[in-house]
Homo-oligomer: A and B are copies of this chain.
């Protein structure tokens, strides 16, 4: 069954104008990825203006807009050209592409409101789309669909295969991948070149339906989108054979043009190929359903209840906290990388199975999915061993450019993880999360502070990292103690203090023990629990330093980047000395 020709007849002229824009904006910027844009121009024009895509251009925040993600974000000239065709960008602004201060950045970020997420660290777009599709299908029951444009080069990234397997596992019918197989990467031919059957075999083996098309044939393009809409077996990957540089004769399928722009005679020649282009053309995007997600009222929740001195692992308190606050934060969801019986996210998973997502041992996709969920208004708590977040550092890094609202919870922090050895110990995690702009790093030492800080995290907008411990630690705080981002607790002090001990997490208990030993030697110590590692409560630390004999006597035993390493990596660990 083939499309009615009247459905596609307006598309070639629109695609031609899109290509013209790609050329003029990269000419103006003398920078940007022209040829990578040209290969996908027909596919994306067909998607947006061929009746499939549904989006209220006057309201990019409409909850039922279809989602469009350019995982190959370097095709940003095309991305902006499409939104210009839709009437959302004036031609004048289009020419600000890649200029300082322009919202049309070299690779899309949400500074441009039609960009769902910042993309292009390659291999991340499908995970973000997976998160958005999961949100629609499993949480909000909204009929919007998510379309992800994928480059062929970036299919070499394992992260995409993580997303593919999980989308099949969750049988997401509302997720469509569009693979732009233009054969050429940055440096030369891709591993698979034009072997689109090989891509199809792989994607099918991972549980998706595949549709192989000529990415420059509008009838095939429109038919594929219609088939994708009607498919009920699982997610669909449209695998399109395309030509890099398509539409500018001397760039077509030519090597050495990735990320290159035209100038002088070549720019002139290229422009001539667009003689007579109608710059007034505009495409119409179909309107979305006017469905909104159901509003769930927050409920009052129980207070924290622990007994001083009881031994509770902070990871257990984390699970307890999620369960306790779940009804206060109806958008809160939990994702875990097949270790929920270690991170104790399983406590929430058992209490609220519909809001817990098993992401298996695929941390990169888990973080990308969390970003997608967060961008659809959810409050994701993502848990794994602290050490294994290093697996997803690129996804964490990129999420800061998408205004992510995610709390990462890393268990088994530090050498106190013990005999499992260094591979399982979070030792670099603080350095990693501190390097993220405006991130918050929290490391509570007992169950009460953990519960309170999880609640603080749920209410906070931004990226938070919370470290928990494997072993049980005694409850040291009364249930009504107040904890905040940037705060600390002075646990021991007297007017005679001679030294200040600053600790966080497991070392708080070591500092309290050191305090006792020092007392016996007649030395008065101040003990501070600097549970907020970033931002640090500098005022309190400064005050303590001034009070206890100056900075030379301030001993910081917060685990720094290299904490405990000689211990952890040179010896097997029974109990860390």
Contacts and interface: CB of A to CB of B under 8 A. Distances in A.
Contact of A394 (B391, B436, B571): B391
A163 to B, nearest CB: 8
A390 B394 contact: yes
A43 interface: no
A257 B206 CA distance: 29
A386 to B, nearest CB: 11
A398 B154 CA distance: 25
Nearest to A387: B121
B107 A420 contact: yes
B107 A421 contact: yes
A179 interface: no
B431 A435 contact: yes
A364 B158 CA distance: 8
A270 interface: no
Contacts of A346: 187
A187 B393 contact: no
A388 interface: yes
Given A204-B205, A206-B202, A436-B428, A99 B156 contact: no
A201 interface: yes
A419 B157 contact: no
Contact of A187 (B169, B338, B422): B338
Contacts of A562: 435, 437
B153 A437 contact: no
Contacts of A431: 431-432, 434-435, 561
A419 B339 contact: no
A208 to B, nearest CB: 12
B120 A360 contact: no
A123 interface: yes
A9 interface: no
A131 B572 CA distance: 27
B100 A571 contact: yes
A103 interface: yes
A225 to B, nearest CB: 25
Interface string A556-577: 0000011001000101111101
Contact of A400 (B169, B393, B436, B569): B569
A100 B190 contact: no
Q: Give chain A's interface residue range (CB within 8 Å of chain B).
A: 35 or more
Interface string A92-126: 00000011111111110101000000111111000
Contact of A73 (B191, B423, B569): B423
A361 interface: yes
Nearest to A572: B105
A541 B421 CA distance: 37
Contacts of A118: 422-423
A421 B105 contact: yes
A107 B424 contact: yes
Interface string A329-368: 0000000001111100010000000000010111011000
A165 interface: yes
A422 B401 contact: yes
A153 B104 CA distance: 42
A437 B569 contact: yes
Contact of A99 (B103, B574, B577): B574
A526 interface: no
A118 B364 CA distance: 21
Contact of A420 (B102, B106, B365): B106
Interface in A193-213: 198, 201-202, 204-206
A187 B384 CA distance: 13
A361 B73 contact: no
Contacts of A572: 98-106, 111
A575 B100 contact: yes
30 contacts: A73-B423, A99-B419, A99-B572, A100-B571, A100-B574, A100-B577, A101-B572, A102-B572, A105-B421, A105-B572, A106-B420, A106-B421, A107-B423, A119-B423, A121-B388, A121-B390, A157-B162, A157-B362, A158-B160, A165-B191, A169-B191, A187-B346, A202-B205, A390-B394, A391-B393, A391-B394, A401-B569, A431-B434, A434-B561, A437-B562
* Across the A-B interface, the 9 shortest Cβ-Cβ residue pairs: A158-B158, A100-B574, A431-B435, A428-B435, A390-B393, A391-B394, A205-B205, A158-B162, A201-B205
Given A101-B572, A103-B572, A390-B396, 13 more contacts: A31-B419, A98-B574, A100-B571, A121-B423, A157-B158, A157-B361, A186-B339, A186-B341, A390-B393, A390-B394, A427-B435, A428-B435, A435-B562
